[in-house]
Amino acid sequence: DAVSMGPHVVVNPDGLLPPIGFSHAVIATPGRIVHLGGQTGHHADGSLPDGLVAQFDPACHNLAVALRAAGAVPQHLTALQIYVTDMAGYRVALRDLGAAYRRHLGRHYPAIALLGVAGLFDPDALVELVATAVVPGEE
């Protein structure tokens, strides 16, 4: 089942688990590809809040800032990988994490993967977001 979601087409086929907070596939419209480096919950001054939700919120903010600096908006996201060091904590905090995501990225859900990892570059970081966006019509 393909649905236009902003400039791109989201595909969530029958026969797969119904997606909640992600899309199974995204067909990107032709355009300029933007690869976004890993965004953690660090503030511009280098400080890092305590707790998964407290870090996820600024990580989403940082991703949105990087997107806009590259001439893109959240609706241009085609893929997002979420790396977390505490998968059980992520599951427990889904409601608050979803609210933080929507606050910065809206209700556009690209193809998303959630990956549990042993650690991130900053040992105090609990989450890192890596994304790809396609800005339409700018090949």
pLDDT tens per residue, range 82-108: 999 999 999 999 999 999 999 999 998
**Nearest in space to 135 (alpha carbons), one of 30, 9, 65:** 30
Token output for 13: 């086929």
The pLDDT of residue 6 is 75
The rounded distance, in Å, linking the Cα atoms of 78 and 131 is: 8
Size of the chain in residues: 139
pLDDT tens per residue, range 104-124: 999 989 999 999 999 999 999
pLDDT tens per residue, range 39-52: 999 999 999 999 99
What is the residue-averaged pLDDT of the chain?
94
